Amino acid sequence: MKTTRCLWVLALALSFASLWADERSTAERFEKAKRSEPELIAFLKQMPKGADLHNHVTGAIYSDFMLDHAVATGLHFNLKTTLFQRDPGETTVPARQLQENWLYYRQFMYAVSMAGSFPAVKSGHDHFFDTFQYIGPANAGRSSGDILFEVIDRARAQNIQYLELMTSVSPGPAYSAFMANLPSTEDLDEAHAALAPRLPALVEASVKFVEERDAEISKRLGFDVFDPASPTTVRYVFSANRLAENDAFFAQIMAGMAIAQASPRVVSLNIVAPEDFVTGRLNFERQMEMIDYLWRRYGQPPLTLHAGELTLEISPFETMRNRIRQTIVKGHAQRIGHGISIAWEDDLPGLLAMMRERRVAVEVCLTSNASILKVEGDRHPIHLYLENGIPVTLNTDDEGVSRSNLTHEYVRAVRSYGFDYRQLKTFARNGLEYSFLPGEGLYRGSYDALRPGFERVRDEDWTPDLDAREAMAGSQKLAAQVRLERAFVAFEK
């Protein structure tokens, strides 16, 4: 008996030793790779990166593929407006001419991505938000499934286990019907009662739409994007426009929450568009009231909301004094997008303590912040969050417009802040821990403490027994986290 126990302890010690040896040698490899960007890219491209939790699909499309689509479907490019159109006109050329004429090509490429941002002429902020007027027409007739395939396949190729994508989750006609002739929101109860009868048709159409689209994408990718054990698992986040008038804003949030309640593929809602713009500033409090009102009626869904994507250059100090706090307290945000203006908040220690207590995570988007807000290096609050124990994830925001991807975000994080391999693994694990996948997770208070029954999940020869398989079938989050830990084992081998 005694001998058996000794052997068991020895085996355990050896397995830990080998675990640490593997992580240590990988960390050493990483430290060496830090000397140059290409070496870092080579290392980080292969490294499991957990999740991209902040990704606007419209901004994720690469302009190169928009052009391929425009050529394949015979669109025409208007040299005067820089927009693609279906029919030829006096100032148009066929899309294929952009493949031959460098000047035409550059006109489009520069307008539709940050490759054409020249801050001396127009601020990065303005150039960024202007790109979106060119993206829609260039993708005319392209299915959302095709666009999603581009984004998910890119994530898979970079060893990203999970995506929460902000994209439309309803068929156009059903959504337009819901949004037509909106009631006044002066009285929220009345507005809600007036809209409620329209809801079932929209919800039913949306649930079906997302399911069918997932089936189409899964077929093309060769794995089920809903399955948390797939190479890359996908969920969706409904986007509401914060620049919409109050009546439309209310209807959007109501639609999003009802769809999220009905579809396991739609896990959350966000509010998008420039936060500094006048409507975003003036309507903010009313918007939070509306979110609060609907959140209580639609099952209290987990929310991720952009907040504090602001600097003094584009926002008065007054707005930044409570933007993030209000978004959490009144808007029930469980995750904050950007959180750049945090240092300007009133009672900062109190706010940070509350975030820590409520486990509010911050979705950091380094390239986006650098190019839109000129916030990079020591102008970025990432250290303020990390030092105060606030969980941080790394994300792309708009990888196509920014000409970035998640690997590049990790590269940027390392080159700007010198993070070590352990910290990068924490970012990756945070991506799943603070995801909105349902179920109890793998960890118990820290990433070193594993759920009973999964203590050996980081051992090379681990395979799930019947109990483990049952537990994973019962928790999507657990299954995705096991998937990530196994990806680390493979990577560190």
CB nearer to Zn ion: give 52 or 397: 397
Q: Whole-number minimum distance, CB 258 to Zn ion, in Å? A: 23
CB nearer to Zn ion: give 131 or 476: 131
CB nearer to Zn ion: give 56 or 483: 56
Stretch that binds Zn ion, among 95-103, 188-196, 377-385, 393-401 (CB under 5 A): 393-401
Task: Kindly determine how many residues on this chain lie close enough to bind Zn ion according to the rule CB under 5 A.
Answer: 1
Q: Whole-number minimum distance, CB 52 to Zn ion, in Å? A: 11
* 162-166 and 233-241 strand pairing: parallel
Please return the burial class of 146, using the count of CB atoms within 10 Å of its CB with bins 0-12, 13-18 and 19+: middle
Q: Whole-number minimum distance, CB 77 to Zn ion, in Å? A: 28
Using Cβ positions, the residue closest to Zn ion within the complex turns out to be 397
Q: 333 - beta bridge partners?
A: 303
Q: Whole-number minimum distance, CB 166 to Zn ion, in Å? A: 7
397 binds Zn ion (CB under 5 A): yes
CB nearer to Zn ion: give 365 or 487: 365
Q: Which residue blocks in 87-230 are alpha helix, DSSP H?
A: 97-100, 102-112, 124-138, 144-156, 172-179, 188-195, 199-221
Record the tokens describing residue 447, joined without a space.
């990433």
Q: Whole-number minimum distance, CB 368 to Zn ion, in Å? A: 7
**What is the distance between the alpha carbons of residues 397 and 371, in angstroms, rounded to a whole number?**
12
CB nearer to Zn ion: give 397 or 433: 397
Record the tokens describing residue 298, joined without a space.
């639609």
Q: How far is CA 416 from CA 148, 390, 408, 410, 419, in A?
A: 30, 19, 12, 10, 8
Q: Whole-number minimum distance, CB 235 to Zn ion, in Å? A: 16
CB nearer to Zn ion: give 335 or 458: 335
**What is the distance between the alpha carbons of residues 29 and 486, in angstroms, rounded to a whole number?**
19
Q: Which residue blocks in 330-475 are alpha helix, DSSP H?
A: 348-358, 366-373, 382-387, 399-402, 406-417, 421-433, 466-474
Q: Whole-number minimum distance, CB 363 to Zn ion, in Å? A: 8
Rounded to the nearest 5°, which phi and psi values hold at 491?
A: -70, -35
x/- map, 353-392, Zn ion, by CB under 5 A: ----------------------------------------
CB nearer to Zn ion: give 161 or 369: 369
Residues near Zn ion (CB under 5 A) are 397
